[in-house]
Chain A
Amino acid sequence: MSDVTVPTTKRAKKAAEGPYGKIGQAINELDDRLGVAKGGRTFMDKIFPDHWSFMLGEIALYSFVILLVTGIYLTFYYVPSVAHVIYHGSYKPLDGQSVTQAFASTVNISFAVRGGLLMRQMHHWACDIFVGSIVVHMARVFFTGAFRKPRELNWTIGLTLMILAIGNGFLGYSLPDDLVSGTGIRIAYSIMESIPLVGTYLAFFVFGGNFPGTATIPRFFILHVLILPLVIIGLVTAHLFLLVRQKHTQFPGEGKTEKNVVGTPMFPVFMAKTTGFLFIVGGVTALLGAFAQINPIWQFGPYDAARISYAVQPDFYMGFLDGALRIWPSWSFASFGHTIPFEVFVPAVILPGIIFNIAYVWPMLERKFTHDNEIHNLLDRPSQRPKRTAAGVAVLVFISMLFIASSTDLIANFFHLSLNYVLWAMRFLVIVTPFIAYPITYKICKELQGVKGGGKRKTPNVVTRTVEGEYLATPTPSYSEDVMEELHPTPVPIFIEAEPDEPVESGVRTVDR
């Protein structure tokens, strides 16, 4: 009656399923058919070097996930139309006003939809965090030289992602059709119109006619919720694929060379960390969304071409453009029956063009000047490359000053200064501060290079008391992994080993699975 091969007890049944239980069995079944285990194994064994700054990009990735989730919720209730309706909702100061459907639906999301305001605020905060963390991540990549060969392509993709994030942020900011964002669209239209020769046609094409048109909001909507997110998702995938393919960079240290990657595997250590981080990013965004008000459009009211509020600024990632527009002098060209509005075209089109193009070609520029055409998998410490670090700091200072220039009125009001003097001061500071920042950074880097034990963790001193009562401080030896080696860039073998491909006469080829 009792057969030893048939498990009767629970424990025996479990043992028969093997060490991974039913899930393991299911995966086995799946693997028999799809053959995913090999790829999955490679993925799970991927090595991530341990340094906190390597996780900055994940803030951006996870805030993008939050943007997608909250954004989907918002699309359920948002109406992308500029048809006018009479608002009759719970917000009394707007009751009876003629507003666009876009505005009315956004106010309804804030006041009538359950959880709508939280979702809206989380979406907006996540956007600010998304762009901000991209900048921080980019700064890490730049200052450590992680953009060097072979990772120039990924630098380019990352930069494109940042521009797309900024662009999509602006589009989303414009969707509620409130007073502040409507002024922003008006300015965007004028900027596009300022381009010589093609500006008028371009503005008509993009905005679907003269400002304020009825096509703008629906177009912005489809760009914001479908087209740009798809492009961003595609580029993020490429970004991560290249990261896996090219393996992660690492800081120099014991046992770390150009040819290896020292770190913890994807599973389980890194997986646990990064999943935890996803929830932390979500948590911080939710806290901000719940406790810090952002973009109270119901106070701004609907957009109307004659209405305007003082102290209107764009979101922070567009601030540098607004600042440049404020401080640029009124140099316009008008002759031969044509007008070139340099006072708009230069700060709003040429200037960002120069900034982003320098960023795009920076890896090439650096290769050209250093004649360093080697493959680098070990990172620089910022102090080791004083010129690059100083140049990066100078550009960051320049952009930050432009950002500060976008709030001249608030600075003047806060410190009770003359608005005109503040503006003149900003004109001066924007030009001068980068030239001050460069030599200071350069000098600091040079000094840091000379510091003994620079870049290593500090070791404790052991204080002992001799029998005579004298105190002695003896430094303990430095941590073994902090001992630097003299490292020289060495070429690494090419990653893809192409196998000889010998076609059979019949044209039929045999490929390994």
Chain B
Amino acid sequence: MLIRVSNENYTTQKGRESWGPKGYIAYSKLCTHLGCPVGLYEQELQLLVCPCHQSMFNVTNGAIPEFGPAPRPLPQLPLYIDAEGNIRAQNGYDQPVGPGFWERHNV
């Protein structure tokens, strides 16, 4: 899901300096707890909340879980704005989206 948090380029974490052009940042919508769509955004708290089991992810620092049962941050999609002004993904997610499973490599 795509959120616009400011007008400036937005850095959520170290190493993600160019991932939020013009304040647009994108996270996977699949909760890392059980895979529900994290469709609940609170703009003042800047929290994404999972409606299933109330895991709360802080949008400003790379969707690190602040509360609830989710163990991992939501994977962030690196964005850039091309010459025509369209938002595009620099590449795919750097890790599997959604809940954990045995074969998942820890990153």
Contacts and interface: CB of A to CB of B under 8 A. Distances in A.
B54 A344 contact: no
Given A187-B52, A312-B51, A343-B69, A338 B102 contact: yes
A334 B54 contact: no
Chain B: interface size category: 20 to 34
B37 A328 contact: no
Nearest to B103: A200
A190 B99 contact: yes
Interface string B85-107: 00000000000001111111110
Contacts of B71: 330-332, 341, 343
B52 A337 contact: no
Interface stretch (B4-12, B13-21, B28-36, B74-82): B28-36
Contact of B101 (A186, A193, A408): A193
Contact of A306 (B39, B40, B67, B106): B39
B34 A344 contact: yes
B35 A309 contact: no
18 contacts: A187-B36, A190-B33, A190-B34, A195-B102, A305-B37, A308-B36, A308-B39, A310-B51, A326-B68, A327-B69, A329-B69, A337-B105, A338-B103, A343-B70, A343-B100, A344-B100, A408-B54, A420-B67
Contacts of B51: 308-312
A339 B106 contact: yes
Q: How large is the interface on A (under 10, 10 to 19, 20 to 34, 35 or more residues)?
A: 35 or more
A326 B39 contact: no
Contacts, number: 113
Contact of A326 (B35, B40, B53): B53
The 4 A-B residue pairs whose C-beta atoms are closest, nearest first, are A341-B100, A332-B71, A334-B106, A339-B104
A183 B52 contact: yes
* Majority secondary structure, A binding face: mixed
A44 interface: no
Given A199-B102, A339-B106, A340-B102, A306 B68 contact: no
Contacts of B69: 325-330, 343-344
Nearest to B65: A330
Interface in A148-200: 183, 186-187, 189-191, 193-200
A20 B20 CA distance: 90
B35 A187 contact: yes
A343 B69 CA distance: 6
B72 interface: yes
A195 B100 CA distance: 10
Given A309-B51, A344-B99, A408-B54, A338 B37 contact: no
B27 to A, nearest CB: 13
B102 A187 contact: no
B72 to A, nearest CB: 7
A195 B98 CA distance: 15
Contacts of A326: 53-54, 68-69
Interface string B37-53: 10110000000000111
A191 B101 CA distance: 9
Contacts of A194: 99-101
A428 B92 CA distance: 41
Given A187-B52, A330-B68, A337 B106 contact: yes
A466 interface: no
A211 B99 CA distance: 12
A456 B29 CA distance: 62
- Tell which of B39, B52, B72, B103 has the most Cβ of chain A within 10 Å: B52
Contacts of A312: 51-52
B34 A187 contact: yes
Contact of B34 (A191, A195, A307, A420): A191
A155 B99 CA distance: 37
A419 B35 CA distance: 21
A126 interface: no
A326 B68 CA distance: 7
Nearest to A347: B69
Contacts of A409: 54
A24 B29 CA distance: 71
A186 B34 contact: yes
Contacts of B72: 332
A311 B36 CA distance: 13
Contacts of A341: 71, 99-101
Nearest to B99: A190
B1 to A, nearest CB: 9
A476 to B, nearest CB: 59
A263 to B, nearest CB: 50
